Amino acid sequence: MLKVFRVVSIAEGVSFLIILSVTLGIISRDFVFYLGLLHGVLFMTYLVLSLLVSNKKSWSILVWLALFLAAIIPFAFIVVELFLRKEAIKAGK
């Protein structure tokens, strides 16, 4: 489940950056609906998986809050990936 969470975490972070690039005018506004829909689905999936993984790994509520905050801060998904990679190594996978 940790591997799936890592993939969703990266996808959610990249989709957030793509949404922000629409705001900056890098990507056409014609795609806002589809990008927003994709990001919304990834965000909700990220939140559900973060709860499941936090429960399975017995992480504290502070770790989960940090994961949640990382979902709303641009580029914070990189820090989450580093954390999850460290946890995966610790688990021996």
CA distances from 64 to 9, 21, 31 (A): 13, 27, 32
Task: Compute the distance between CA of residue 86 and CA of residue 32 in angstroms, rounded to an integer.
Answer: 35
DSSP state of 19: H
Residues of the chain under the 70 pLDDT cut: 93
Task: Compute the distance between CA of residue 46 and CA of residue 72 in angstroms, rounded to an integer.
Answer: 11
pTM value is: 0.88
pLDDT in tens, 67-92: 999 999 999 999 999 999 999 898 87
pLDDT confidence of residue 27: 80
**Centroid of chain to Cα 59:** 17
Q: Show the domain range for 53.
A: 2-91
Please give the tally of structural domains in the chain. 1
pLDDT confidence of residue 74: 92
Helix (H, G, I), strand (E, B) or coil at 93: coil
